[in-house]
Structure 1
Amino acid sequence: MAQINIDGDNLIVEIEGWDKLWALKSRLEIPLANVRGATADPGIVRGPRGIRTAGSHFPGVLTAGAFRIDGEKVFWDVHDPTKAIVIQLADERYTRLIIEVADPRETVDRVERAIVDGGRA
């Protein structure tokens, strides 16, 4: 699971617990100007993940780390698909972040407000 926070003009994704090891990443910092939107999407895990480039994938248990699909690099950190959100990015290393969060609706709303407010949410 991950914590998503807004710090000024940045979206901060803090990877928690053992997921730091599985994902080979502990923190992502993305300028809000490069965040295009966020959606709750529990069905995303049923689709293809692509080719794992760094991280871990244990079917039915965990997907964490960097994957490449259709020429795009996607970051995953999901155990429970019902809590998955997708954050669309532009001009970043990753084109999407697929992250498990405690409260998908609240997190999506907070990210969307921050995009509109320019980080003042």
Structure 2
Amino acid sequence: MVTVHLQDDSVVFTVEGWHKLWSFRSELRVPRSHIKGVRRDPAAAAHLAGIRAAGTYVPGLITAGTFFLDNVPDHKPTFLDVQHPDNTLVVDLKAEEFNRLIIEVADPEAVIALLVKEII
């Protein structure tokens, strides 16, 4: 699971608990201006096609880490951390290491409200 909060001009995505080990990341910082959009998408982490660069993939259990997905046109990696798909958000990025983040959060609606407010 990932927690999301604002710090100065950045959005901080903090990977919690054992997910740090599974995803090989503890935190991602993204300038607010680099977030193109955010949406709830419970199916985003299902049926992934591509290459796992660093992380964990156990179908039906957890998907965490850096993945190069086949359906990404710019060939940039995607960061994933999803165990319970119902709480999945997709955060689209520009000018970042990752083209998008596919993450599980405790309260998807609250995170969407926080990020949409910052995008506008």
Structure 2 spans left out of the alignment, 5+ residues: none
1:108 aligns with 2:108: no
Query: Partner letter of residue 57 of structure 1?
Result: Y
SS at match of 2:21: helix
Query: Partner letter of residue 55 of structure 1?
Result: G
SS at match of 1:114: helix
SS at match of 2:79: strand
Q: Which moved more, 1:68-77 or 1:16-25?
A: 68-77
Report if the CA contact (8 A) 2:76-2:97 is conserved. Answer: no
Identity fraction in percent:
37
**What TM-score results when the alignment is normalised by the length of structure 2?**
0.92
Length, aligned pairs only: 116
Matches within 5 A, 1:41-80: 41-70=41-70, 71-80=75-84
Report if the CA contact (8 A) 1:5-1:12 is conserved. Answer: yes
- Structure showing the higher helix proportion among its residues: 1
**What TM-score results when the alignment is normalised by the length of structure 1?**
0.91
Query: Partner letter of residue 51 of structure 1?
Result: I
Matches within 5 A, 1:78-89: 78-89=82-93
Structure 1 spans left out of the alignment, 5+ residues: 117-121
How big is the shift at 1:81?
A: 0.3
Q: Which runs of 4+ in 1 moved over 4 A?
A: none
2:26 aligns with 26
